[in-house]
Amino acid sequence: MLFPLLQASLADSLVQNEAAVAPIQPTVMNESLWSMFTMGGPLMWVLLALSILAIYLIGRKWWTINNASKIDPHFMQDIRDYVTEGKTKSAITLCQKYDNPVARMIETGIHRLGRPMADIQSAIENIGNVEVARLEKGLPLLATIAGGAPMIGFLGTVMGMVQAFFNMSKAGNNIDITLLSGGIYTAMLTTVGGLVVGIIAYFGYNWLTSKVSDLVYKMESSTMEFIDIVINEEPAQQQ
């Protein structure tokens, strides 16, 4: 009789333990992105505006740099042929056909043909500096977003924690976990939002900077090739 009683007691104990554990089940978060966004507080609107601005800057600068990089691979060879044959008007017309920094720099150099080499180099460098400044326009703002968005998210984190502890202080002895959850939820959401915006702006900035560097290298290479054409052309004109 003792063994069946022990089995029954053990079975009852297992049933009771399962009943006690059953209510503690992980709940699946069914919150939509919009509800999570609104629960993040007013700073989420600031982060949303910064994200839209960052995406706009990345798209616009990519379009500008991509168009500035398009040029006929035979462009410099055609310029060499025109300059060697003395067809400066044809060379200028060819430069005006392309709307990019390389063509504008070479056109400036062609307009200065016949002047001292120092004047030609100075004119090309001035145009090059203007073109580089135009290409880099907007990148400092993108870098500011990359550094500022995480800081705004951290500010939201601090504000959420302040709200949580303020609610606790007002509750007195009637402290409930829900008093903390609202502030902590706001804190975490703003942190995530700030990091997401910062990461997008950071990677976008570095990617665009590398593309600008590649284009600047192409501009410098074309300038050196044009200077070489002018230097080789001067002795031919003297003969």
32-48 per-position pLDDT tens digit = 666 666 666 788 889 99
DSSP assignment string, 63-107: HHHHHHT---TTHHHHHHHHHHTT-HHHHHHHHHH--SHHHHHHH
Q: How far is CA 153 from CA 40, 56, 139, 157, 230, in A?
A: 10, 21, 22, 6, 56
What does the pLDDT read at residue 33?
A: 64
* Mean pLDDT (the chain, rounded): 79
181-212 per-position pLDDT tens digit = 666 777 788 888 899 999 999 999 999 999 99
Which one is predicted more confidently, 210 or 175? 210
Tokens of 18: 């399962």
61-82: average pLDDT: 88
What does the pLDDT read at residue 182?
A: 61
